[in-house]
A = this chain, B = another copy of it.
Amino acid sequence: MKITFLGTSSGAPSRTRNVSSIALQLPERGAFYLFDCGEGTQHQMLRSPLRPSQLERIFITHLHGDHIFGLIGLLASRSLATGGVSPVTLYGPEGLDEYVRCSLHVSRTHLGYPLEVRTVAAPGIVYEDEALSVVCAPMRHGIEAYGYAVIEKEQTGRFDVEKAQALGVPAGPLYGRLKNGETITLPDGRTVDGTTLIGPPRPGRKIVFTGDTTYTPSAVELALNADVLIHEATYSENDLPLAERAQHSTTGMAARVAHEADAKTLILTHISPRYEGGEGQTTDDLLREAQTIFPNTLLAHDFFTYEVQKRTIQAE
């Protein structure tokens, strides 16, 4: 799984950072998910290897303009582009449906593929298939807001084919039954328990997107043991009053969530343009503030990509 930051600015675009959008590529299925879709997300995609035709699901954290104003343009351009015919499912708080319906209607946009809008209204699973689930939890931002966790399912352990051969299992369908964990009887009367040939299950990965929020225990809970926590950090610790007023996070709040959740890596995003000016504090300062509390912190920039490593198998 690979994370690509398409927009890392808060509120309005700057010359170097676009407004919020993060892509999560799922190479096993040749698709990607999008988390938020600020204005200009389709323009950022043009400058990345991401193709709108491979977009499968969009999860919206909340309905502030800098997180949704790129939605309809992207959906419309996906319809114009070759190959964009597979369905797209949109998830987000109440009102998203109204916004999508109104925008498509007024602009007479007719999508060449099925679009489904699912309203997220309570914490829990919002999507699930055989390989992963997407879970949401409420954030604290003065407007209905959700964070999302993408949780890979545990993968079956490795089948020890060498050990099976050493036990004298003859080539053929018996292997399939052993891999399923069944107990089989060999031609010579011995029985072999398949579960003894299967290694420990490989744990799935967990990636968490908070969207906009000030510090909340709900983010800690959502991020428990996450491989990657992507937390907003609009402000420096010095600007704590601004963060409190707008219900955003400081670097310290983001780092505290990562620490309390025992996350492996923290990536800061949604950076206020005030730290880009060259005067006063810089984004380097923001990063250092967070690293004081949570050393394994990174600070995203537009087009920054992060490969989420597979978890190693834990010893039993």
Q: Which residues of A contact B (CB under 8 A)?
A: 11-15, 18-19, 39-40, 42-43, 46-47, 63-66, 68-70, 72-73, 76-77, 80-81, 95-96, 98-99, 102-103, 106-109, 143
Contacts and interface: CB of A to CB of B under 8 A. Distances in A.
A108 B73 contact: no
A46 B13 contact: yes
Nearest to A47: B15
A73 B65 contact: yes
Given A40-B40, A65-B109, A102-B103, 20 more contacts: A12-B76, A12-B80, A12-B81, A13-B42, A14-B46, A19-B73, A39-B40, A40-B43, A43-B43, A63-B107, A64-B107, A64-B108, A65-B73, A65-B107, A68-B106, A69-B69, A69-B72, A98-B102, A99-B103, A108-B143
Contacts of A81: 12
A47 B43 CA distance: 15
A143 to B, nearest CB: 6
A12 B73 CA distance: 8
Contacts of A108: 63-64, 143
Contacts of A70: 39
A45 to B, nearest CB: 10
Contacts of A69: 39, 69, 72-73, 76, 103, 107
* Total identical chains: 2
Contacts of A65: 72-73, 76, 103, 107, 109
Name the residue among A64, A69, A81, A95 with the largest chain B CB count within 10 angstroms: A69
B73 A39 contact: yes
B143 A13 contact: no
6 contacts: A13-B42, A13-B43, A39-B73, A65-B107, A65-B109, A99-B102
A12 B65 CA distance: 20
B106 A98 contact: yes
Contacts of A102: 98-99, 102-103, 106
